[in-house]
Structure 1
C-alpha cells in the first residue's frame, strides 16, 4: 500500500474507533475526533516526540487535548501508539472504573498530560508547560549541550476554548513572552452545541492572535501536505507562539451528520455509524478494527522514536558525568528536593514580633527562594501588596527565563492555568498570588489542581473585612467557606509568624494537591501561647493556645488568623467566671484528618465551643456536635478603617466576651 494511502487509512482508523467508542458508551462527543483525525494522525506519526514505554521522559513533546470533550481522539492515539491502554479500555469508554473517562484525566492513563474538559484550561496549561520548558533550558543548557527544553507544546483547541476568557489571558502572556515552543491547532469547524458559531462568535481569530504576537498559519484539516508544511513552518518560528487555523468539518466522514451541531455531543447512532463506515470504505463486519498497515505505521514510528530517546539518554548520561554540579541541581529540580531542616530555617526566618501575615510570609518567601532552587512564582500585578517578590532574583521576561519571579499581569484566571501547566511539566514548585477576593477568578484552575492532585501554592492576601477602606468589593466574606468546600485543597489561615512558617513548610512538602495560604493585610496583635507549645502542632490543623484552669474547660473558644488574639482577649475577660481554653485552627482540612482521640483532646465532647472568624460561618456546624456558637459575618462588609469595622461587626475581645456570656446564660 502506498504511504499516502496508509496515512489516509490511519486517519479513518482513528475516526471509526472514536465513533465506535462513543456509540458503545451511548454517550460522548464523536464530532471533534472525526473532524481532526487527519491532523492528529500527521502530528503523532511524523512529528510528536515521545516514548510510550517511558511516558514521563523529560524531553518529550507535550500534547494537550484542550478540547477535552473529544477524548476518544487521544485515547485512540495512545492505543495505536503503544501506550499502556488496551482495546477493551476503548470499548469501556465512560464506564464505571474505566481509565477512559468522559474527559481526559491526568493520572488515569499514561500519556495524558493534563485534565481537560472545562474549556480554555488546557490552552492555559500548555502555556505553563512552555514557560517551564524555557526555564529548564535556561538553567541547564549551555553552548555545548542543548539537552533540555528543546521540544514543543502541541495542543488541539476548539471554538469553545477560544471563547472562554482564560484563553485570552493566557494567549496574551504567551505572545508577550515570545514562546516559540507553542504550536496549537485551532479546530475551526464553526459548530458549537447550540448551532453555528456565527450566532455568538464573529471576531477575526487571525487578527486577534496576531495582535497577541502569535504567528498565525492556516491549513485544510484533510490535506496532509498542508498540515505537514504548517507544522514545519511553526517549528522554525522561535520568537512567536503559533496557532494553526485548521479548517475542519465536525463529524467528517458521516454522510448525514457532518457539519451539524447534533454530532458535537451525541453518538452517531447505529444506522449512521454503518453509513459512515460505508462512506469511508470500512468493513461492516468488524468492530474496533485496526488494519495491519496502520499497526505497522504506528509501530514503525514507535521504533523510530525509541532511537531518538536512546540517543538522548546516552547524551544525558554523558552530560551528568561532565557536569556533576549541574546534574545534582537538575536532580533537585525533578525530585522536588528540600533541605532536611526546612521547618527550622523557615521558623528562624519568620519575624517574632507581631505583623500582618502577608508581611511575615514575605520574609519566609525570601528564605525559601534562597534555599529551594525550583521554587518560582509571582503575582497578578500585586507583588508589592502580597509581599511575594523574591528580591535577590530576576523576573522572567521575553527571552529571559533564568529568573524566579513572574509578572502575570492582571490575569488571575490565566495565572492559575499557567501554574497548573508548570506543575504538570515537572521540576518546579510554582506559586501564584493575588488578593483573596480575586480567588473567585481562579476557582476553575484551583479545582482542577485539586482534581489532578498537583502541588500548586496560592498566596491569598487581604483576607477579610479587615481590608478596611477599600470596602465590600475587596473584602472576602464567603471565600474561606468556598475554598474549603473544594475537595483536596488544604487551606491555611495563620495567626502569626510561627503558623505562617509552618504553613509554608507544609506547602513545600505537600505533593498531593494545592495549598492556599490566606493572609492578612493588617497587623495581627500578639497573643500568648502556653509554655510547652511545639511548632509541629500547627500541622495538626488545630492546637491549644492557652489552657483552662483546672482539669477540664467550661468552654473552648476557637479562631483562625486575625481572630486568634480576639479569642485570647475574650478568654481573659471571661476567666473569672469560666475555665476557658483557647484554640487556634490554622487549617480546618488538616484538623479533620486527625484521629478522634486528638480531636477530643482539643475539643472535649461536653464543653461548649465558640468559633470566631470574620467570614461566613458555613461549614463550622459540620465539625462540632457540641453546643456551638459561631461569631462571623452574615452580610458583606463595609468601607472604613479596619479597627472601626472590628467594632461595628463585633470582633473585639469585649464584644465577643459579652456575646458568650449572653449565650451561656
Structure 2
C-alpha cells in the first residue's frame, strides 16, 4: 500500500469521495433496517477509509491468503460501516447485501460474523473480546513468522494485525488482561485504532471512564500515539505509518473523533444506536453534496477505493512458501497451494492412526496404573506437541496443576523466540479470547487451561469459540467437590451443565488414562468447533474395556457384558465411573445385574447414530445417572424410563476430598442403596 505521509489534493479529494461513500452506504443500510448504530458510521469512516485504502494488504481474489493483514472490528456495532468498506474494496458483499443489513439470512448480520471469504476473520460484538482476539492473531503472526523463515529476508508469514476499538472496549476488564500481555510480549505488528469520541450509550464517558487510557497503555509497554485528528486523512495516515515503523512494541493510536459527525446529533449519545430518520439522513446527504440514490456508487468512486488493492498474491506467495526452511512448516503451508480452505486447514501427522495405536500400548503415554486424568492428559500432550508444532497453548498460572507443563518446550520468551507454550498469567478471560484469535490463523490448534471452577471467568469467550466454530481446546482440571480442602469457592457444581448447554461445544470427561487418550484423539480430529477436556486432580483406577475402546470415540462405552439382560443401567462420567463399577460389582453379588456406561462425551453420544445409541442404552429397566455436579443436563436421558440423577445441586464444603465426596452422596454404600430402591420401585410398576 501507499506509504507516503503527505496527501496531495487529488488524494484528499479521493479520500473525501470514498469516506462519504461508506458513510452514506452505512447510513442507508441502517435506515433500511430501521436498526443500527449511525454514530460510529459518521465518526470513524475517515479512519477506516485511510486504513483500508492506504495500508491494508489483502487480495479479494484470494481472501484466505495466509500473509494478508488482519482487521478486527472489536466495536462490532460499527458493522454497517465495515460492510460498506468491504463492499467498496471488492469483497463478495453486494449493494443488495447492504440493503439486507440485519435481515434474516443475510450476509450482513447486526454484528460481524466470521467468514474469511467475506473479509471477516473474527465474530465480534461483546465489547473488548475482539481486542483480545487481535492479540491472539498477533501472537499467531509472531509465532509463524519465526517458523516460516525462508531463503529470502522475509518470512512466508508476516503481516500486521489492526483492531478498531471504542471507549466501551477499553473499559472492559479483558482489555487490561489482553493488552498488558501484548505489551509484555512485544507484539510489534499489532496496531489498535481507538475511536476516542468520549461517548458511550449512557452519555459522556468522563463520568465513569478512567482518566488516562494513554498512561495505562504506556505502563503496559505500548507505543501510544496520542491526540490524532480522526477526521484529518493526512494525520491518520501519518499515525498508522508511525505505528507500523515500530517493530518492538504494539501501538495504540488515539483518534479523536466526533460521533455523529455532520448531523445535529453530533457529539451526543443519542446518535450512538438510533437511526437518523429520513429527514436527518436527507439533510446529511445534502450537506456532503450526495446527489445519487442511497445504494448507488459511481465507477470513479469504486476506482478510488480499489486503486491500491494488491493484484493476486496466490502465485507470488506460493513461490515464497516453497522456500520455507523448516520442513514441517514447508509441508504445512504447501496445502494452501492445493486449494485447502483455511477454515479446514488442520494438519495431523501423516502416520496419525499408527501413532495412536502405538501410544495406546505405551505405558509412558497411556498408563495402566492409577493416574489422575490431568496427568494422563499431560502424557498425551507431551507426545502430541513433539509431532504437531501447530499445537500451541498454555495456562493461566496453573501449568503444573492442570497438566500442561511441558519443560521440553521451554516457554514463550518475550525477549527471544516464541514457543509452543505460553505463560498467560492470571488472565482467564483474555487467555480464552486470545486462543480464539490464535485459532483463526493458518490452522493453529490452541489449547488453554485452568481449574474448572474458573471457567466462569472466560465463559463468554468459550461461547464465542463455539459461535465461530473454532477448534479451541479448553482444558479444565480439578473437576469436582473432590478438590476438598479448598472449599466451595474452588469446587465446581454448575459448570459442567453450563458448558454442556453451549451449542456446538463438546465436553469430554474421561474416566481413566485410556479414555483421556481417546478424548485427545477425538478433539484433535474435530475441526468444526471447540472442545473441553474436564480432568481430575485425584487418581483414578484404569478400566478394562477389552476390544470395546472403539465405542469411546462415539462418546460412550459399555463396561459390562450383560447387553439387554440386566435390571438397569448405571450411567456415569469421569471419576464417578470408577464408583459405578464398584456399585455394579457389589450388587452383582446380590443378584442385581446392572450395566455400566461411561458417558465420556454426552454431545458426541447424542450426535451418534440411533443404532449406536440403542446398542449402549439397551436395558429396559431403570437408569441411574451418577455425576458429581449439577443434575440439570441429565434428565434428557430419563425421558420415558424410570430412573434418577445422583448429582449435586448445592454448593460444596471444605474438608478432605474423599470425605466431601461421600458427604454429597458418592459413597459406594449410598449409591448401592439408591440402586436397590430404584429396582424395587420398577418391580412394583
Normalised TM-score (structure 2): 0.93
Which residue of 216, 230, 251 maps to 2:224? 216
CA deviation vs aligned residue, 1:257-292 (integer Å, no higher than 9, x gap): 111212111111111100111121211x51112233
Which residue of 490, 497, 505 maps to 1:489? 505
Cα distance in 1 for partners of 2:235, 2:99 equals: 33
Cα distance in 1 for partners of 2:459, 2:630 equals: 18
Query: Is 1:236 aligned with 2:245?
Result: yes
SS at match of 1:77: helix
Q: Does the CA contact (< 8 Å) of 2:346 and 2:527 recur in 1? A: no
- Number of the residue aligned with 1:654: 669
Deviation at 1:353, TM superposition (A): 1.1
Which residue of 88, 98, 115 maps to 1:107? 115
Cα distance in 1 for partners of 2:328, 2:114 equals: 33
SS at match of 1:126: helix
- Number of the residue aligned with 1:642: 657
Deviation at 1:331, TM superposition (A): 4.1
- Number of the residue aligned with 2:476: 460
Using the TM superposition, name which of 307-316 and 456-465 deviates more: 307-316
RMSD between aligned residues = 1.8
CA deviation vs aligned residue, 1:60-99 (integer Å, no higher than 9, x gap): 1101111100101111111000111111000000001101
- Number of the residue aligned with 1:582: 596
CA deviation vs aligned residue, 1:633-652 (integer Å, no higher than 9, x gap): 02111111111112211211
Deviation at 1:558, TM superposition (A): 0.9
Q: Does the CA contact (< 8 Å) of 2:147 and 2:326 recur in 1? A: no
CA deviation vs aligned residue, 1:152-202 (integer Å, no higher than 9, x gap): 101110111101111110001000001110111100111111111122113
Using the TM superposition, name which of 564-573 and 493-502 deviates more: 564-573
Cα distance in 1 for partners of 2:205, 2:585 equals: 65
Query: Is 1:624 aligned with 2:635?
Result: no
Cα distance in 2 for partners of 1:253, 1:346 equals: 66
Using the TM superposition, name which of 419-428 and 128-137 deviates more: 419-428
Deviation at 1:546, TM superposition (A): 1.4
Query: Is 1:163 aligned with 2:178?
Result: no
- Number of the residue aligned with 2:330: 327
CA deviation vs aligned residue, 1:481-513 (integer Å, no higher than 9, x gap): 000000000000000011000000011111000
Deviation at 1:600, TM superposition (A): 2.1
Q: Does the CA contact (< 8 Å) of 1:547 and 1:580 recur in 2? A: no
CA deviation vs aligned residue, 1:501-540 (integer Å, no higher than 9, x gap): 00000111110000100000111234444x4x33221111
Which residue of 62, 85, 88 maps to 1:77? 85
Query: Is 1:290 aligned with 2:297?
Result: yes
Query: Is 1:176 aligned with 2:187?
Result: no
**Structure 2 unmatched ranges of 5 or more:** 1-8, 337-344, 681-685
- Number of the residue aligned with 1:440: 456
Question: How many pairs are equivalent?
Answer: 656
Q: Does the CA contact (< 8 Å) of 1:420 and 1:454 recur in 2? A: yes
Deviation at 1:662, TM superposition (A): 2.3
Deviation at 1:325, TM superposition (A): 6.3
Q: Does the CA contact (< 8 Å) of 1:527 and 1:564 recur in 2? A: no
Deviation at 1:403, TM superposition (A): 1.5
Counterparts in 2 of 1:3-402, with a 5 A limit?
3-107=11-115, 110-141=118-149, 144-218=152-226, 219-254=228-263, 256-283=264-291, 286-302=293-309, 305-306=310-311, 311-317=316-322, 319=323, 326-331=329-334, 335-338=346-349, 339-341=351-353, 342-347=355-360, 348=362, 349-402=365-418
Cα distance in 1 for partners of 2:171, 2:564 equals: 63
**Structure 1 unmatched ranges of 5 or more:** none
Q: Does the CA contact (< 8 Å) of 1:85 and 1:109 recur in 2? A: no
Deviation at 1:599, TM superposition (A): 1.7
- Number of the residue aligned with 1:602: 616
CA 367–469 in structure 1, closer or farther in 2 if over 3 Å, else same: same
Deviation at 1:373, TM superposition (A): 2.2
CA 307–634 in structure 1, closer or farther in 2 if over 3 Å, else same: closer
